[in-house]
Structure 1
Amino acid sequence: MPVLSIEIFIDSNTNFELEGKHNSEGEEFSGLVMKIEPNDTYSEEISKSLRESDTFPFDYYKIDFKTFDGRNYNSYKRYLRYSFIDSSRINSSNATQRFIENLYKEEVSANERIRLQHEYRKQTETFSTNELNFDKEGEYELSLSSHRGRFLEENLTIRKENVDISQLGKGDHMFFNIDFALSRSQKVSNIVLIEEPENHLSHLNMHKLIQKMVEAEENQVFIATHSNMITTRLDLQNAIFLANGSAIKLEDLDDETARFFMKAPDTNVLDFILANKIILVEGNAEYILLSSLFKRMFGTELYNKNIAIISVGGLSFKRYLNIALELGKKVAVITDNDGDYAKNILDLYNEYQSDNIKVFAPENEEEYTFEVSIYRNNTSLLDRTLKTPQMSNGFQDYMLANKAESAFRILEKIYEDDFYNEFTIPKHLCEACQWIN
């Protein structure tokens, strides 16, 4: 029967009870192992199940947690403790109450808490005597409870802009949970696990949240995320990318590239790493037109071919290509020659020449940019169908001054057969689409 074994190797551990040779390496290491294996007590039941059914008998398996020295690892002797925050299932009442009490203890000294507790009990007894002491019959009377040890803490709340914490949105509750976990973990837990913290948060609040996690120096923080911002801001070299049944790390990525993505204003690096094939373009005009041209050429969308198109800006191409070299991604770069094909294409990208990377640009240096290339290949068609009397300097100048808008106007025409049949796709665009396909 198969056995599943999951091991955690712990670095710089000072607890000798975790050290031993009970691991897959058979050498002295510090760590823990979880083993899921058949329970010998049910060997007859397992045999019967295998004879009579195709259903796998995992019900008769057992789970053991042990240290590398062979000792059982249980809740009575737990060397690693963690806090788990799942943004999709925030336990508002319990977590919020713990957060309030934790904040109270941090802000108010122990002596002051004793004084406040006593004063609060005096006030509640006064209220009970003066306000609840109405005419009554029998031996029982109403009173506020004031004898529990945490009476004051249980009745505290927090307000934000005069709104009670219980009435705030899930984004605020994410902050409360993470604040509590990080502050509490310094005393109780070694590890903080956060599931998709980007849920319910605006762009600005995401920045604030990332800063809180960066400052959590006393804990090891594991974050599961689909956010480009979180992935890059917390350093690509620390990230593990899970895709297609495998785990990818970028430990060997150069420091300068990693720092670039930490500071870049807008990146699509997560989309880039998780895609099978990628087309990198410079700007919005290329992004707007290229997917539609690909569809007309091949009769299907880019995503149906597992191809991602990402607009990164010309100055960022090399940063993405550094990652492509590490991962062996197939990447087509579509860029401008800026009037010098040899210098700006052949020489500039010479170090990135490989089987999986290819740079496409017009070899004709008069087609120095995307808009000029489109116009020169379709001058008559564009002047006839899209030029207006207001374009006094001609449609090419209009395209250069209004790149996204002119691309959108051409896009609307691309799906008209009469227009597309006469439209000439520049050679470098055709070659890029055919190569990446």
Structure 2
Amino acid sequence: MADAKLGDDASQTDVPPYHLGIVVIKRVRIRGYRKFRDLDFLPHPTFNVLVGNNQSGKSTLLEAVGLAITGRVNGRPANEELNPHWFNKELVATAIADRASGKTVAVPEILVEVTFDNSDELSSLIGADDLYAPTGHAPGVRMHVHLNEEYRSEFEAYMADPGARLLPTDYFVADWRSFQGGPLTQRPRALSLAVIDARTVRSSAGVDYHLRQLIGEHLTSSEQVAVSAAFRQVKENMGAEHLTALNTRLASGDELLDRGRVSLAMDQSSRTSWDNNVIPHVDDIPFALAGQGQQAVTKIVLAMRRQAEAAGAVMVEEPENHLSHANLNVLLDRIDTLSSDDQQVFVTTHSSFVLNRLGVDRLRLVSDGSVEAFTDMTEDTINYFRKLPGFDTLRLVLADRLVLVEGPSDELLFERFYCDRYGHRPIDDGVDVFSMRGLSQRRFLELAKLAGKRCVIISDNDGRTEDELEALRDDLGDLLNANRKLLFGAVDHGHTLEPQIASVNDDATLRTLLGRTNRADLRTWMSNNKTEAAIKIVDSPTQLTAPSYFVEAMEHVHARW
């Protein structure tokens, strides 16, 4: 896309430097995993807001990072969760087709590599930061899912079947290692990762895996051992005090075959450990009984309040879920306040309000297996959208092509003229029509330029001369080009849209459509009753002629790149 800033072509010189002593994800390479054929993503060191359409890969990106850092998916080791649908379906389809045509092709693989900034804590993880092209060295971890060569013959026999469409993952292995090459069996202690899914609460106890992990990380190893020992002592005391009499009676009963006798004792196994018997409370209410919004907020705040020595990556999925507008505003304030250079945050969202409040400069657009970083946003524009959180920024970012109009009546009329011309609504062609609603032309164009969008602004001339209108265009500089246009109504046809329509349509036809007599000044009535006039035109079976600047706008956005 023209003018778009790709996340993987940037040195990101405008973002803060990586901080020594803090574990920061510096680079994410994903090859062959679900949506991602070959992704090279450079996250912002402190804050990333991941946006994209449904099924674009936002959650998959976080899942892949978690897979490489923890070696687990859904709380289970990767080797126990291997799934043929993990593999990029396009790569698999190509490999199968090539095999069928007699070509010798490599077996599809999955590679997820997470590179960290250099720090003393990660010295044991330093090695080649690219398995396929090992030219640089840095600390990191990688998950490599590949064919287990011990099963090569079985794999080849399976793939010889012309009906094979999925990879037989029974013959694959998930190889989890540090960049240094040593195999990993558990998450390296220096790597801290919290994943909070605000969409769901998993587990019957109301404390899902993620929250239990967060609570555990608030205790040092010595504190955890002390609590565990104390809990074991409580169980022993309970057995001694309350089960002794019962065991005495049991001892007087019949002997077993080996002359042993039955007795009762408290379970000391790991499934009854203290952390499985502690339930967090929120305002003295058990966590399981708190509202889902409160549960989501609690998990997020706990994750972001950890001490610096436990600082790491925090991944929050859709914080807007289960929250009212007012409470979402409070939560975003907390997230912004708690975020710091000691922690790296990733947030996925479908909410423009969340994006605007957290900052459009933190936006990372996930689409078509790529991640684009909006790194050239000016500070003025960032603050502008923060002060205008209600503007639907995500519609602008995610739309194929864009039209910005003066107000709601102009939006209605553009849709009607478009339908008359092409036989369907603009959105059916991927064209999204926005009303200005306080948004300045310059801010709209700046965001459209960064997003690489084809767009047009349809504006009233407000009585300006042709020279004055041209001066307005010149002032916008390179924000306007062949793909981004600013169109004004004809100077001699009136100041706003309503007289523009009256100028290019038959007076009698327009009066009949609007239900106005000859005594009414048609232009004045339309200007004073914009919405009513627009609705009458939209609902009428009579087709009107569109003003010339509307026609030019429709042709511009209807055209493909």
Aligned to 1:204: 326
CA deviation map 1:36-95 (0-9, x unaligned):
211112112112112235242333221222222222233163432212222232137343
Taking every aligned residue pair, what percent have the same amino acid on both sides? 24
Aligned to 1:73: 184
Structure-to-structure mapping, 1:35-434, within 5 angstroms: 35-53=144-162, 54-55=164-165, 56-75=167-186, 77-91=188-202, 93-95=205-207, 154=278, 157-159=281-283, 166-184=288-306, 188=310, 190-214=312-336, 215-217=338-340, 218-313=342-437, 315-342=439-466, 345-350=469-474, 351=477, 352-378=479-505, 379-387=507-515, 394-413=521-540, 416=541, 419-420=542-543, 423-434=544-555
Question: Could you say if the C-alpha distance between residues 169 and 279 of structure 1 is closer, same or farther in structure 2, counting changes exceeding 3 Å?
Answer: same
CA–CA distance in structure 2, aligned partners of residues 221 and 80 of structure 1: 14
By how many angstroms is 1:290 displaced?
1.3
CA–CA distance in structure 2, aligned partners of residues 396 and 321 of structure 1: 31
By how many angstroms is 1:363 displaced?
2.4
CA deviation map 1:1-48 (0-9, x unaligned):
133222222124332112222524521222222212111121121121
* 1:17 lines up with 2:151 in the alignment: no
CA deviation map 1:233-272 (0-9, x unaligned):
2222222111234322111222322222222242222111
The amino acid across from 1:13 in the alignment is S
Question: Could you say if the C-alpha distance between residues 280 and 170 of structure 1 is closer, same or farther in structure 2, counting changes exceeding 3 Å?
Answer: same
By how many angstroms is 1:429 displaced?
0.7
- Structure 1 gaps, min length 5: 126-137
By how many angstroms is 1:222 displaced?
0.9
Aligned to 2:76: none
Aligned to 1:133: none
Q: Contact 2:280/2:287 (CA < 8 Å) preserved in 1?
A: no
SS in 1 for 2:404: strand
By how many angstroms is 1:335 displaced?
0.9
By how many angstroms is 1:167 displaced?
4.3
Question: Could you say if the C-alpha distance between residues 149 and 197 of structure 1 is closer, same or farther in structure 2, counting changes exceeding 3 Å?
Answer: closer
SS in 1 for 2:455: strand
Question: Could you say if the C-alpha distance between residues 395 and 95 of structure 1 is closer, same or farther in structure 2, counting changes exceeding 3 Å?
Answer: farther
By how many angstroms is 1:330 displaced?
0.8
CA–CA distance in structure 1, aligned partners of residues 289 and 176 of structure 2: 41
CA–CA distance in structure 2, aligned partners of residues 4 and 157 of structure 1: 41
The amino acid across from 2:364 in the alignment is I
Say how many residue pairs are matched: 396
CA deviation map 1:286-312 (0-9, x unaligned):
112211221121101212211111223
The amino acid across from 1:197 in the alignment is P
CA deviation map 1:370-406 (0-9, x unaligned):
23323443444443443568x9974534443443343
By how many angstroms is 1:424 displaced?
2.3
CA–CA distance in structure 1, aligned partners of residues 274 and 141 of structure 2: 38
By how many angstroms is 1:177 displaced?
2.0
298-307 or 185-194, which deviates more: 185-194
- Structure 2 gaps, min length 5: 1-106, 239-247, 251-265, 267-271
With normalisation by structure 2, the TM-score equals 0.62
Q: Contact 2:145/2:174 (CA < 8 Å) preserved in 1?
A: yes
SS in 2 for 1:295: helix
1:3 equivalent among 109, 118, 123: 109
CA–CA distance in structure 1, aligned partners of residues 310 and 333 of structure 2: 22
Q: Contact 1:81/1:188 (CA < 8 Å) preserved in 2?
A: yes
The amino acid across from 1:270 in the alignment is L
Question: Could you say if the C-alpha distance between residues 343 and 270 of structure 1 is closer, same or farther in structure 2, counting changes exceeding 3 Å?
Answer: farther
With normalisation by structure 1, the TM-score equals 0.78
Aligned to 1:128: none
By how many angstroms is 1:365 displaced?
4.6
CA–CA distance in structure 2, aligned partners of residues 173 and 392 of structure 1: 65
CA–CA distance in structure 2, aligned partners of residues 149 and 231 of structure 1: 41
CA–CA distance in structure 1, aligned partners of residues 273 and 198 of structure 2: 32
CA RMSD of aligned residues (A): 3.7
Between structures 1 and 2, the one with greater helix share: 1
CA–CA distance in structure 2, aligned partners of residues 193 and 295 of structure 1: 43
SS in 1 for 2:456: strand
Question: Could you say if the C-alpha distance between residues 77 and 150 of structure 1 is closer, same or farther in structure 2, counting changes exceeding 3 Å?
Answer: closer
